[in-house]
């Protein structure tokens, strides 16, 4: 690496070192600290780990969070794909640009505000139940349920997943799809044998972002899920709120980071894995 | 690991009439009257040369609302100061914010009553001069030497307002008679519609009261603690969610929750004034008092103006502003404050029963022994309670 290349990379290396690796190592170290009289004291004790890993509610939260993030990822990928496919292959360049611009607009407003706006729609006296009521259905409880949590997660992630899938699909060389079709490949098979493998990297990265954002989100499970049951981010907040137990919260955070590292590494490996020819 | 809770409860016992009498003697009557008028003077006296003086910034650490214009606006204008509030939610959150900040960061700290002793033990607050405050004007003797606010004869925090927690309910779903017992939370008609304010202390305290622990609601032996946990778990099928202030507010307002455990008029009062069919009552098993008190931050260089501000908040004007606070109402603690509230906002005084002779007068409820000051667990740690709370939320 020459000096110029290093100089260009230096800012991001310094940034990541200062604001990601540094805090990460501190958080890991903090998980071994102790709290006395509401004050954290430096130590190297395994008590926090032993306590948190033997608590049933920690594992309940862990599996619930993992399950909800996985469900949201699957739902987002499937809901986004038809829209992304249409935007990539069935509309003009101009329409696609406008669509992507419109998909970016939700990010102009605070995620918390967008989440609270669902109250008007999902409440038992809200828009959906009013519509269902006109058809003599409901009311159905949607707020403070896992369904509400997923709605919140999708509010955060779905526009991003559509954008990433659209960009990924739009970059496919259409000649390859046409060649498959010309050689007699049915549309469904062309989709699974040509389009999806070619867009694989982008689709997996989109899903990965969706998982990461959902797994670490506090807002949706708290405000739309009613913290019932709590996810790991809520558990972290609960743990810090009572008794200043930042070290125990750090244990939960390390559990989350480890899970995210494992899933991200697997996803990246799948995304860039070369297909082995028969 | 934590401060011995028994020490705190011990301070309850030191609150007796003899000490109050001694305290009263310490307070100079003439001086007191002058000081009681300081709040009004702080607002009415034009600040000479204010136009040339630079504005003093007062860093405040408080629950949401205390640094907003409806509370501090007039004081800021009259004294050429500007409050820079940092808001927290819960005593632990407050302690965390102070612990992470260098001494002198916060000039004035609004603390929940039960956390003052922790603030003092950790050396986060400075002593106050009792002669600066109108102790002889208190509505109740306990307010003169509130538990944990004094260390011997040294005052560390000045109580400014309080409120009561009990049964908060939607009047279309629960009748006033039903609301007179925590039993109404188990009513089949509100299954899935009972919410919790997401803090273990008030909710578990209420379960303890429902179990008949009365004044010993925080002082639970193993058997009583187990019984409280069982009682709480039996409520879980009824629970529709766990909420912070915003979530509690919204879920009650839009009818998603029809009853709320762990709160009181400090939330429903805001909605009730807005016309929502909500109310809060102290049930027959008793209620819990939240208490808010001002402290002078350690290392603050603005002790004089902080003293003036606390005096202002204890003046009739300040007490009325506190009672009418937009974020959440709090009861007056001084006779002068109550009289001013009745004179200027009779409707709010009546809504909150702050009228002499009203059987639900919050002061009467305290005197009748139906109210218990919020405390931390005596025989368990906060972690034990929090652990159970997490289990409960996951159940």
Q: Which residues of chain A from 51 to 70 reach within 8 Å of chain B, CB to CB? A: 55-58, 60-61, 64
pLDDT tens sequence across B153-210: 999 999 999 999 999 999 999 999 999 999 999 999 999 999 999 989 999 999 999 9
Please state, rounded to an integer, the average pLDDT across all residues of chain A.
93
Question: Does the structure show a pLDDT above 60 at B222?
Answer: yes
* A chain contacts of residue B1, beta-carbon cutoff 8 Å: 35-37
* B chain contacts of residue A222, beta-carbon cutoff 8 Å: 244, 247
Please state, rounded to an integer, the average pLDDT across all residues of chain B.
88
- Put simply, the answer to whether B121 touches A126 (Cβ < 8 Å) is no
Question: Does the structure show a pLDDT above 90 at A154?
Answer: yes
Report helix angle B222-235 to B382-394, nearest 10.
30
* A chain contacts of residue B239, beta-carbon cutoff 8 Å: 228
Q: For an interface test with B, which of A228, A230, A245 has the most B Cβ atoms less than 10 Å from its Cβ?
A: A228
Helices (H), chain B: 5-14, 17-26, 29-36, 38-44, 69-79, 91-99, 116-121, 200-210, 222-235, 245-253, 265-273, 303-314, 316-323, 335-344, 346-351, 362-367, 382-394
Report helix angle A232-241 to B382-394, nearest 10.
160
**A66 assigned to some structural domain:** yes
Question: In angstroms, rounded to a whole number, what is the distance separating the alpha carbons of residues A98 and B10?
Answer: 69
**A19 assigned to some structural domain:** no
Question: Does the structure show a pLDDT above 60 at B32?
Answer: no
Nearest by CB to A38, from B99, B242, B391: name it.
Answer: B99
Question: In angstroms, rounded to a whole number, what is the distance separating the alpha carbons of residues B296 and B128?
Answer: 7
pLDDT recorded at residue B337:
98
What average pLDDT does this structure show over A128-157? 94
- Put simply, the answer to whether A227 touches B95 (Cβ < 8 Å) is no
Half-sphere exposure (Cβ direction) of B266: Cα atoms closer than 13 Å = 23
**A240 assigned to some structural domain:** yes
Question: In angstroms, rounded to a whole number, what is the distance separating the alpha carbons of residues B299 and A98?
Answer: 57
pLDDT recorded at residue A88:
95
Question: In angstroms, rounded to a whole number, what is the distance separating the alpha carbons of residues B199 and B242?
Answer: 9
The residues facing B290 across adjacent strands are B163
- Put simply, the answer to whether B239 touches A123 (Cβ < 8 Å) is no
Question: In angstroms, rounded to a whole number, what is the distance separating the alpha carbons of residues B268 and B271?
Answer: 5
Burial of A44 (C-beta count, 10 Å sphere; 0-12/13-18/19+): exposed
Is B275:B28 a contact under the CB 8 Å cutoff?
A: no
pLDDT recorded at residue B52:
53
pLDDT recorded at residue B47:
47
Half-sphere exposure (Cβ direction) of B227: Cα atoms closer than 13 Å = 14
Q: What's chain A's length in residues?
A: 278
pLDDT tens sequence across B126-152: 999 999 999 999 999 999 999 999 999
Question: Does the structure show a pLDDT above 80 at B1?
Answer: no
- Put simply, the answer to whether B200 touches A230 (Cβ < 8 Å) is no
Question: Does the structure show a pLDDT above 80 at B390?
Answer: yes
- Put simply, the answer to whether B393 touches A228 (Cβ < 8 Å) is yes
Q: For an interface test with B, which of A125, A242, A244 has the most B Cβ atoms less than 10 Å from its Cβ?
A: A242
Which structural domains are found in chain B, ordered by start? 5-162+289-352 (3.40.190.10), 163-288+373-394 (3.40.190.10)
- pLDDT band (50, 70, 90) for residue B99: confident
Q: For an interface test with A, which of B97, B240, B391, B393 has the most A Cβ atoms less than 10 Å from its Cβ?
A: B393
pLDDT recorded at residue A276:
60
Is A148:A142 a contact under the CB 8 Å cutoff?
A: yes
Give the residue from chain B lying closest to A65, CA to CA.
B394
Question: Does the structure show a pLDDT above 80 at A231?
Answer: yes
pLDDT recorded at residue B101:
86
Which residue in this structure is represented by tokens 């000045």?
Answer: B158
- pLDDT band (50, 70, 90) for residue A151: very high
**A20 assigned to some structural domain:** no
Distance from CA of B89 to the nearest CA of A (A): 9
- Put simply, the answer to whether B122 touches A39 (Cβ < 8 Å) is yes
- Put simply, the answer to whether B92 touches A241 (Cβ < 8 Å) is yes
Question: In angstroms, rounded to a whole number, what is the distance separating the alpha carbons of residues B61 and B87?
Answer: 6
**A135 assigned to some structural domain:** yes
Question: Does the structure show a pLDDT above 60 at B23?
Answer: no
* A chain contacts of residue B99, beta-carbon cutoff 8 Å: 38-40, 244
Specify the long-range contacts of residues A19-25, CB closer than 8 Å, at least 24 apart.
A24/A257
* B chain contacts of residue A38, beta-carbon cutoff 8 Å: 2, 92, 95, 99, 118, 122
What average pLDDT does this structure show over A172-178? 93
* Residue ranges of chain B whose CB lies within 8 Å of a chain A CB: 1-3, 90, 92-93, 95-96, 99, 118, 121-122, 192, 195, 198-200, 239-244, 246-247, 250-251, 254-256, 381-383, 385-387, 389-391, 393-395
**A27 assigned to some structural domain:** no
pTM: 0.80
pLDDT recorded at residue B157:
98
Give the residue from chain B lying closest to A139, CA to CA.
B256
Return the DSSP state at B115.
G
pLDDT recorded at residue A1:
60
What average pLDDT does this structure show over A109-113? 92
pLDDT recorded at residue B34:
44
Domain range holding A70? 52-272
The residues facing B84 across adjacent strands are B59
**A209 assigned to some structural domain:** yes
Question: Does the structure show a pLDDT above 90 at B24?
Answer: no
Give φ, ψ of A140 to 5 degrees: -110, 145
pLDDT recorded at residue B20:
39
**A14 assigned to some structural domain:** no
Q: Six-digit token pair at B64? A: 């949401």
- pLDDT band (50, 70, 90) for residue A77: very high
Give the residue from chain B lying closest to A146, CA to CA.
B241
pLDDT tens sequence across B227-246: 999 999 999 999 999 998 88
What is the DSSP secondary-structure string of B185-201? GG-GGGTT-EEEES-HH
Neighbours of B50 (CB within 10 A): 12
- Put simply, the answer to whether B394 touches A124 (Cβ < 8 Å) is no
State percent of chain A over pLDDT 90. 85
- Put simply, the answer to whether B383 touches A242 (Cβ < 8 Å) is yes
pLDDT tens sequence across A9-49: 899 999 999 999 999 999 999 999 998 766 788 999 999 99
pLDDT recorded at residue A6:
83
Question: Does the structure show a pLDDT above 70 at A108?
Answer: yes
pLDDT recorded at residue B53:
67
Hey, CA dihedral for B219, B224, B226, B230, is it positive or negative?
negative
pLDDT recorded at residue B381:
86
State percent of chain B over pLDDT 90. 75
Distance from CA of B312 to the nearest CA of A (A): 31
- Residue B262's region, left for phi above 0, alpha for psi from -120 to 50, else beta, is left
Q: For an interface test with B, which of A237, A241, A247 has the most B Cβ atoms less than 10 Å from its Cβ?
A: A241
CATH of residue A88: 1.10.3720.10
How many domains are contained in chain A?
1
- Put simply, the answer to whether B386 touches A238 (Cβ < 8 Å) is yes
Give φ, ψ of B159 to 5 degrees: -60, 140
Which residue in this structure is represented by tokens 């136009």?
Answer: B51
Question: Does the structure show a pLDDT above 80 at A278?
Answer: no
Specify the long-range contacts of residues A136-143, CB closer than 8 Å, at least 24 apart.
A141/B192, A141/B240, A143/A118, A143/A119, A143/A224, A143/A226, A143/B241, A143/B251, A143/B256
CA distances from B378 to A112, B6, B382 (A): 38, 6, 9
Distance from CA of B242 to the nearest CA of A (A): 5
What average pLDDT does this structure show over B324-331? 94
What average pLDDT does this structure show over A57-77? 97
What is the DSSP secondary-structure string of chain A? --HHHHHHHHHHHHHHIIIIIHHHHHHHHHTT-EEETTEEE----SHHHHHHHT-HHHHHHHHHHHHHHHHHHHHHHHHHHHHHHHHHHTS-HHHHHHHHHHHHGGGGS-HHHHHHHHHHHHSTTSHHHHHHHHTT------TTSHHHHHHHHHHHHHHHHHHHHHHHHHTS-HHHHHHHHHTT--HHHHIIIIIHHHHHHHHHHHHHHHHHHHHT-SHIIIIISTTSS--HHHHHHHHHHTTT-HHHHHHHHHHHHHHHHHHHHHHHHHHHPPPPP-
Q: Chain B within 8 Å of A116 (Cβ-Cβ)?
A: yes
- pLDDT band (50, 70, 90) for residue B93: confident
Question: Does the structure show a pLDDT above 80 at B9?
Answer: no
Q: 3-state class of B153 per DSSP? A: coil
Burial of A39 (C-beta count, 10 Å sphere; 0-12/13-18/19+): exposed
Give φ, ψ of A30 to 5 degrees: -60, -30
Q: For an interface test with A, which of B198, B388, B391 has the most A Cβ atoms less than 10 Å from its Cβ?
A: B198
Question: Does the structure show a pLDDT above 70 at B50?
Answer: no
- Put simply, the answer to whether A228 touches B242 (Cβ < 8 Å) is yes
pLDDT recorded at residue A273:
87
């Amino acid at each position: 690496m020459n000096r110029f290349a290093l100089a260009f990379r230096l800012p991001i290396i310094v940034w990541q070192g200062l604001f990601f690796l540094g805090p990460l190592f501190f958080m890991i170290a903090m998980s071994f600290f102790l709290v006395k009289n509401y004050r954290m004291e430096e130590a190297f004790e395994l008590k926090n780990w032993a306590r948190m890993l033997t608590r049933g509610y920690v594992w309940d939260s862990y599996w619930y969070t993992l399950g909800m993030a996985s469900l949201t990822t699957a739902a987002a990928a499937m809901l986004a794909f038809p829209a992304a496919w249409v935007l990539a292959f069935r509309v003009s360049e101009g329409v696609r640009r406008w669509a992507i611009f419109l998909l970016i607009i939700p990010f102009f407003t605070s995620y918390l505000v967008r989440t609270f706006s669902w109250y008007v729609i999902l409440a038992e006296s809200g828009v959906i139940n009013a519509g269902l009521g006109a058809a003599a259905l409901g009311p159905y409880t949607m707020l403070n349920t896992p369904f509400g949590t997923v709605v919140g997660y999708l509010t955060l992630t779905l526009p991003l997943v559509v954008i990433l899938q659209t960009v990924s699909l739009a970059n496919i060389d259409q000649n390859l799809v046409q060649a498959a079709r010309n050689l007699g490949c049915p549309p469904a098979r062309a989709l699974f044998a040509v389009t999806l493998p070619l867009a694989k990297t982008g689709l997996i990265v989109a899903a990965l972002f969706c998982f990461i954002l959902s797994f670490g989100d506090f807002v949706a499970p708290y405000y739309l899920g009613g913290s019932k049951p709590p996810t790991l981010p809520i558990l972290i907040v609960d743990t810090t709120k009572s008794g200043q137990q930042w070290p125990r919260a750090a244990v939960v955070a390390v559990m989350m980071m480890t899970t995210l590292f494992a899933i991200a590494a697997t996803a990246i490996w799948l995304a860039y894995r070369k297909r082995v020819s028969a | 690991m934590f401060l011995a809770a028994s020490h705190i409860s011990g301070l309850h016992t030191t609150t007796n009439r003899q000490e109050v009498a001694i305290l009263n003697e310490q307070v100079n009557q003439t001086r007191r009257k002058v000081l009681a008028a300081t709040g009004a003077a702080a607002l009415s006296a034009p600040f000479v040369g204010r136009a040339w003086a630079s504005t003093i910034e007062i860093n405040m650490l408080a629950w949401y609302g205390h640094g907003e214009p409806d509370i501090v606006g007039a004081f800021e204008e009259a004294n050429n100061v500007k409050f820079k509030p940092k808001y927290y939610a819960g005593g632990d959150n407050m302690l965390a914010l102070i612990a992470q900040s260098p001494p002198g960061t916060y000039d004035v700290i609004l603390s929940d009553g039960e956390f003052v002793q922790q603030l003092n033990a950790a050396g986060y607050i400075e002593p106050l001069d009792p002669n600066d405050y109108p102790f002889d004007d208190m509505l109740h003797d306990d307010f003169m030497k509130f538990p944990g606010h004094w260390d011997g004869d040294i005052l560390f925090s000045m109580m400014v307002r309080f409120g009561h927690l009990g049964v908060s309910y939607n009047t279309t779903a629960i009748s006033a008679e039903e609301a007179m017992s925590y039993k109404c939370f188990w009513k089949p008609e509100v299954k899935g519609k009972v919410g919790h304010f997401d803090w273990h202390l008030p909710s578990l305290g209420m379960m303890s009261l429902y179990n008949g622990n009365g004044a010993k609601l925080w002082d639970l032996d193993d058997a009583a603690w187990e019984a409280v946990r069982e009682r709480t778990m039996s409520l879980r099928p009824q629970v529709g969610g766990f909420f912070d202030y915003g979530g509690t507010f919204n879920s009650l307002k839009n009818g998603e929750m029809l009853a709320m455990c762990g709160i009181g008029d400090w939330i429903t009062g805001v909605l009730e004034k807005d016309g929502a069919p909500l109310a809060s009552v102290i049930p027959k098993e008793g209620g819990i008092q939240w208490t808010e008190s001002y402290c002078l931050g350690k290392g603050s260089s603005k002790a004089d103006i902080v003293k003036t501000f606390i005096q202002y908040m204890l003046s009739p004007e300040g007490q009325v502003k506190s009672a009418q606070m937009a974020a959440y109402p709090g009861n007056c603690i001084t006779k002068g404050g109550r009289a001013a509230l009745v004179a200027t906002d009779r409707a709010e005084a009546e809504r909150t029963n702050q009228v002499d002779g009203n059987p639900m007068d919050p002061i009467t409820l305290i005197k009748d022994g139906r109210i218990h000051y919020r405390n931390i667990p005596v025989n368990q740690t906060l972690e034990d309670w929090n652990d159970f709370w997490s289990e409960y939320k996951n159940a």
